[in-house]
Structure 1
Amino acid sequence: MLITGECFCGSVKYQIDGKLKDARSCHCSRCRKTFSAQASAYALVDVDDFSWIQGQDLLTSYESMPNFGLQFCSKCGSTLCGTHNGEVHGVTLGCINGDPDIEIGYHLFVGSKASWEVIPPGITAFTEGPTDSN
Structure 2
Amino acid sequence: MSDITGECFCGSIRYQVKGGLHDARSCHCSRCRKAFSAQASAYAVVRAHEFSWVTGEQLLTSYVGEHGFGLQFCSKCGSTLTGVFKDQVHGVTLGCVNGDPKVSISRHIFVGSKAAWELIPEGVVQFDEMPPV
Same-fold call, TM cutoff 0.5: yes
- Equivalent residues in 2 for 1:75-114 (5 A)? 75-114=76-115
Structure 1: 5+ residue stretches without partners? none
Deviation above 2 Å: which 4+ runs of structure 1? none
Kindly state the Cα deviation for residue 64 of structure 1 after the two structures are TM-superposed.
Answer: 2.7
CA RMSD of aligned residues (A): 1.0
TM-score, structure 1 length as denominator? 0.96
Secondary structure at the counterpart of residue 48 of structure 1:
helix
TM-score, structure 2 length as denominator? 0.97
Question: Which one has the bigger strand percentage?
Answer: 1
Kindly state the Cα deviation for residue 119 of structure 1 after the two structures are TM-superposed.
Answer: 1.0
* More moved, 75-84 vs 61-70: 61-70
Q: How far apart, CA to CA, are the structure 2 residues paired with 1:65 and 1:81?
A: 17
Tell me whether 1:6 sits opposite 2:7 in the alignment: yes
Q: How far apart, CA to CA, are the structure 1 residues paired with 2:121 and 2:51?
A: 33
Secondary structure at the counterpart of residue 83 of structure 2:
strand
Q: How far apart, CA to CA, are the structure 1 residues paired with 2:56 and 2:68?
A: 23
Kindly state the Cα deviation for residue 65 of structure 1 after the two structures are TM-superposed.
Answer: 3.6
Q: How far apart, CA to CA, are the structure 2 residues paired with 1:93 and 1:65?
A: 25
State percent identity of aligned pairs.
65
How many residues align structurally? Answer: 132
1:62 is aligned to 63
Kindly state the Cα deviation for residue 131 of structure 1 after the two structures are TM-superposed.
Answer: 1.9
